């Protein structure tokens, strides 16, 4: 389910139009890590039963490995993984951050998140 969500995010992104040789594209905008983190923290503090998590370093690497191993296999990368967990409605939002920008976002179930988190952060350390 998670892989399908990442695929949908990528598939729905509009194709870049062809540019004439003399056209200079504007710098792409992004949802920055800082803004995404602030949004997550605000949501967690404003909504009951909502938890925000920010994984970096070895934890982010382990989570990305678990995501990539979830069928169908993929080759996503990220420096940070931001998670907004809402167990009361069985919704977990994930955002992958590369070079200070959110590059992928997906929604998954509490069950799938628990499986990935356990695989990444518990089993990999035992």
pLDDT at residue 100, as a whole number:
95
For residue 33, the surrounding DSSP H or E stretch is helix 33-46
Average pLDDT of the residues in 104-115: 91
pTM: 0.76
Per DSSP (E only), the strands in the chain are 51-56, 80-86, 91-98, 101-108
Annotated domain spans of the chain: 2-7+30-125
Distance of alpha carbon 7 from alpha carbon 14, whole angstroms? 13
Q: What is the sign, positive or negative, of the torsion defined by CA atoms of 32, 50, 126, 115?
A: negative
pLDDT tens, position by position, 25-78: 444 578 999 999 999 999 999 998 999 999 999 999 999 999 888 877 889 999
For residue 55, the surrounding DSSP H or E stretch is strand 51-56
pLDDT tens, position by position, 112-125: 999 999 988 886 66
Which pLDDT band holds residue 18 (cuts at 50, 70, 90)? very low
For residue 85, the surrounding DSSP H or E stretch is strand 80-86
């Amino acid at each position: 389910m998670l892989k399908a969500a990442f695929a949908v995010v990528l598939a729905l992104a509009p194709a870049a139009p062809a540019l004439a040789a003399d056209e200079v594209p504007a710098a792409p905008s992004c949802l920055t890590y800082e803004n995404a983190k602030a949004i997550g923290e605000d949501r967690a503090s404003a909504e009951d039963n909502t938890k925000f998590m920010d994984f970096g370093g070895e934890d982010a690497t382990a989570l990305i490995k678990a995501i990539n191993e979830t069928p169908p296999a993929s080759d996503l990368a990220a420096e940070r993984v931001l998670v907004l967990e809402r167990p009361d409605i069985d919704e977990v939002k994930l955002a992958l951050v590369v070079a200070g920008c959110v590059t992928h976002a997906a929604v998954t179930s509490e069950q799938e998140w628990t499986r990935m988190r356990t695989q990444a952060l518990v089993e990999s350390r035992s």
